[in-house]
Structure 1
Amino acid sequence: MRDFEFQNGTKILFGKDQEQYVGRESTRYGKKLLLHYGGGSIKSSGLYDRVVSSLREEDIEIFELAGVKPNPRVSLVREGVIICKENNIDLILAVGGGSVIDSAKAIAAGAKYEGDVWDFYTGKNSVSDCLPIGVVLTIPAAGSETSAGTVITNEDGFYKRAMGHNNLRPKFSILNPVLTYTLPSFQTACGITDMMAHILERYFTNERNVELTDRLCEATLKTIINNAHTVLENPTSYDARAEIMWSGTIAHNDLLSTGRVGDWASHDIEHEISGIYDIAHGAGLAIVFPAWMKYVYKHDINRFVQYAHRVWNVEIDPFDLEKTALAGIKKTEEFFRSIGMPISLTEVNIFDEHIDEMAKKGTERGPLGNFVKLYEEDVRQILQLAK
C-alpha cells in the first residue's frame, strides 16, 4: 500500500426531502447565487420551485444559467464565467447530474481566472482558486457530487478533457433518492455503468497489499449489481434507489483510491468516443471496458481471477486461470447487456471512420493508463476489439 493523503470536505445531506435545506446551506457562502441546470425536467418535476423557494427564504439573489447538455460544452461554461464575474457571484448551485456539476465546477474555476477556462483542461494552467459549489443531485452516476474532477467537451476539435483539483469538491451535496424515481431506464443504466467503471478503474492496479480497498471496491460493485435490476424493474423502490445513489458517491469520492494507483485508460478512450459521437458516457464505458479487459488481462491474470471470483462468483479453476479470468470478463459484458447497455461500437452506429483519429488524439499527450501503459497502436487495437 502506498502512502496517501485523503481529504473530502463535502457535506452530504442524504434522504427524503433534503432539498428543503438548500437555502440554509447556500447562505453560508453568500447571498448571490448562480443556479445552474440542464433542461426542463427539474421544472416539470417541481424540484425547481422547491429549490428556488428555499433559496428565497434566505433572501438569496438568484441568477440562472440553464441548457447544460450531456457531455457539457465549454461554450456554456464561458457564458457562466461571464455571469459570475459581472455579478460578483458568491456560490454556484448545480441542480442535476454529473454534466451539470462538471459544468458548474468549470465555471467556478473560470470565475477566479483571468485567462480562458479551457487552459485548465489542456494543462496550460492549473486551478488555484474557485467559487464554492453546492449540489442537488438528480442523477446518480458520475460521482461528481463529491469528487475533485470535472470533464468538459470543446466543440472546436471535439476534444473531451478532464481536470481536477481538491478546491473543486462541492461544499455540500444534497442526495434525495426520491428525485431519481422518474429517470428513464436508459439513463439509470448509464449511471450504473458509470459508477461501476469508476470502481473498476481503481480496482485494476499494480499496487500490492491493498486488501482493504480491494474489499471495499468489491463490496460496492456487488451492491450496485445486486440492486441494479430492482431499480430498473421497480423505479420507485426507495431502498434500492438509495443503495445505488450512495454507491455512486462512494465509487468516486476517492476513498476507494487510498493507497493505490488506478488506471483510467478506459475513461480516456471513452472520452474520445463521446467527444466525437456525443454518445452517453455510461454507454461508451460499457463498450470500452470489456474490450480493455480483453486486451490487458494477461498483465496480471491473478487480479482478474480475483475479480471474477469475488465480484461475479466464478469458481476458480486452479488448472486454467485464464479460463476463470475470461469468465469474469464475460460476466461483466453479460451484466451490461442485461441492463440495456450496448457492448460494441457497431450497436451505436460507430464504425471505422474515426478509429485512427481517436487513437491518435487520445495519446497525443502521452500514453494512457497505469495498469498497462497504452500507446496509439494499443488504443487502436482496443477500439477494434470494441467493434
Structure 2
Amino acid sequence: MKKIKVGLLVEEFYDKDLGGFGGYGILAREYIAKYIPNSEIEIEVIIGSNSKKEIKTIERDNTKIHYLPKNWSSKLDVDFIYLNMVKKFFKEQKFDLYLSIEMSKIAYEVMKREKNKKLILWVQDPRPKYDWEEIKSVPMSNEYDSYLNYYSKWEGRIQDLLQKLDREDRLVIISQGEYLKKKAIDLYKLPENKEIKYFPNPVVITENFKIENKKSSVLFLGRLTPVKRPWIYFELAKKFKDYTFYVCGQGTEIDEIIEKYKDVENLKFMGHVSGDEKDRLLKESKILVNTSIHEAIPVSFLEAISYGLKILSCQNPDDITKKNGYFTGTILGEGISELEEFEKGIRNCIENYKEEEILNSIKEIKDKHNLEKFISNMRDLIKNEL
C-alpha cells in the first residue's frame, strides 16, 4: 500500500547544525516529523530557501529535509531556471497534501502553484492588525517595523490565496488555541462560519519531580528582546530578594539594559538552557513569569504547568493564566508603571501554592495536551482529508 506523502512547509527546522531554534522549528522536528510518520504516512520537510542556487536535500533522524534554491520564486528572468527546477521537483515528489505551521512565505509560494492539493494550516500565532498595534506600544521594539516592512506586504496576497483555497474546498484549518480561531478569521478575512478545529499543541509530560522539592525560585523563559519586556522581571527580582530569579534566554537587543541589572544578586542570567539544565530549573521553580506584550499559547506555559509551576502573566490565552496562577490584566507600553500588579501576582502565587491545585493543573495539561492523543488525531486528520 502506497504511503500518504505529506509535505511539511516550514521556515525552520530545529537543529544544532541547521539552526532554527524557534518554537515552530521545535514543533516541526520534535513532534510532527518525529511522531507522525508510520506505515501509512511519511513526512518530508520543505524549507523556504538556502543560500545556494540548487535544491539541497539532507536527512535528520530518517526525515528528508529539502531546501529550495535562493530566490526561486523571484520574477526576475535570471531566476526562471530555478523556478523551473522547483516545479520539476514538486512534479517528481508527488506530495499528496501539505501541512503548514502558520501561513509562512514558503506555504504561500507552494500553494499558489498547486492546482488540486489540500493545505492543512495549523494556526499557532495569527496576528491581526489590532495585535500589531499593541506590539507597537513597546519602546525599542523593531517587531512592528518588521511587520510594516515585510509581513504587511504579504497579507493581501495570503488572504486572496486562502480565500481561493477555501472556495475550492482545499483549505483545512486547525488551531492550537480556541481564542486564536477568531484571530485567524480576522487576519485572513475568511467567512465567519469557517470551521476551525481545536488542535492543541502536545507536551511531553515529566513524571519524575516532587512538589516538596520545590525551592524559592522564579523562572523567565524567552528571548531577551523588547517585545518580551524582561526589564519588568528584572525589577521584580529587586523587590523579592528572598527568591532566586532565573533568566533563561538569549538576545542582544537589550544588552545595555541587562548590564544595569548584573549586580542584582538574586537575578541569575543562565543564557539559552535546554535538556537537563532546563529540566532542573523547572523542577525546582515555583513560578513562571511572562511579561511579554504579545503571546499566543506559549509552550513554556504548558511545560511550566506540567512541572508544577504557577503562571504570572499579562497574557491570558484560553484562560490558562487565570486558571493556573495570576493574570495582571492587559498591560501595554513599557510596563514598569504597572510593576505593582506583577508584585501582587508574585505574592498571590506564593500564598496560593497548594499541592491539590497544582496536581489538578498537571492532570488537565496531561489530558488536553497529551502526546498520544496528538499523534492519533494528527494521523486521523491527514488520512481523512486525503
TM-score, scaled to structure 2: 0.28
Query: Per residue, is there more helix in 1 or in 2?
Result: 1
Larger Rg: 2
**Higher RCO (CA < 8 A, seq sep 6+):** 1
Query: Per residue, is there more strand in 1 or in 2?
Result: 2
